[in-house]
Amino acid sequence: MEGLVYRWLPFWTVLRRELARFWGIKRQTIFGPLLETYLYISIFGAALGSRINQLDGYSYIVFIIPGLLMMSFSMNIFINNSFSILQQKLQRAIDDQLASPVSNTELLAAFGLGGFFRASIISAITFITAKVLIPDLPVVHPLMFVLSFIFIGLFFAMAGVLVGLRSEKFDDVSFYQSFILQPLIFLGGVFYSASLLPPLFETLTRFNPIYYMINTLRYSMLGTADINPELSLLAIAVAGLILLAINYRLFKRGYKLRS
């Protein structure tokens, strides 16, 4: 037992530092994103919901909840992991971790799980609040609901790590966030169904990977989707594993980590 504890101590030490980092500034990392999500629910759910009767057989506010959960979850994982690694690089604190008895696998897992835990806290509080405000908010397929968060979390955790590795200044991370991730999320069907779009724009939406993530989570909650949710979930898992393999090789090489 003592040997097992000692074996996992390096990993737990790095992970604990990641958890302490975002929890130490929780007004910025937890409460800020929560407020932003609640504003989306209030503005789009209450204001637009009073003008839109139903989408796919559900009230508008119920229809957008899965997309809002996915948006909050993915954005917070990506931002946490990318900024955390970049900060460690700029402060050269990463040098100590690379010289420590922490393996590449443990280091990568700790960085990835830091953002996953942060986003899970935010999404859990958001879901509980939404469930209180909307008692009939369904979760039709609980297993797929959990698997969707796990695989979407894996993808964005590894995407955040990859961007953090590649970035050399905070503007680099902001570029990926503002000009790639946010447009893909907003155009992925968070606030609307792609079936309502003109044929050309509906076709273009299907080239957006976020569209499949939102629909998979929406299917797990509402039982309705524009695509095959099982195939989408499999594709998301494969994409996340590919990013995991890429990041592992980059960590092993010390890509942009060693001065």
pLDDT of residue 149: 97
Give the integer Cα–Cα distance in Å for 100 and 48: 53
Q: Are 203 and 135 in contact (CB under 8 A)?
A: no
pLDDT of residue 6: 58
Give the integer Cα–Cα distance in Å for 17 and 66: 31
- Quick check: 46 pLDDT over 90? no
Q: Are 232 and 89 in contact (CB under 8 A)?
A: no
- Quick check: 70 pLDDT over 70? yes
Which residue in 123, 128, 118 sits closest to 19, CA to CA?
Answer: 118
Please enumerate in sequence order all residues whose Cβ is within 8 A of that of 206, keeping only pairs 6 or more positions apart, or say none: 194, 227
pLDDT of residue 104: 85
Please give the single-letter amino acid code of residue 129: T
Q: Are 55 and 191 in contact (CB under 8 A)?
A: no
- Quick check: 179 pLDDT over 90? yes
Q: What percent of the chain has pLDDT over 70?
A: 94
pLDDT of residue 150: 97
Mean pLDDT for all residues in the chain? 89
Q: What percent of the chain has pLDDT over 90?
A: 55
pLDDT of residue 57: 81
Give the range with max mean pLDDT: 154-163, 181-190, 197-206, 248-257: 154-163
130-158 tens-digit pLDDT: 888 888 899 999 999 999 999 999 999 99
pLDDT of residue 59: 86
76-123 tens-digit pLDDT: 999 999 999 999 989 888 887 877 778 888 999 999 999 999 999 999
Please enumerate in sequence order all residues whose Cβ is within 8 A of that of 19, keeping only pairs 6 or more positions apart, or say none: 114, 117
Residue 258 exposed, middle or buried by CB count within 10 Å (0-12, 13-18, 19+) = exposed
- Domain positions in the chain are 2-253
Mean pLDDT score, 235-240: 96
Q: pLDDT category, 49, cuts 50, 70, 90?
A: low
Q: pLDDT category, 3, cuts 50, 70, 90?
A: low
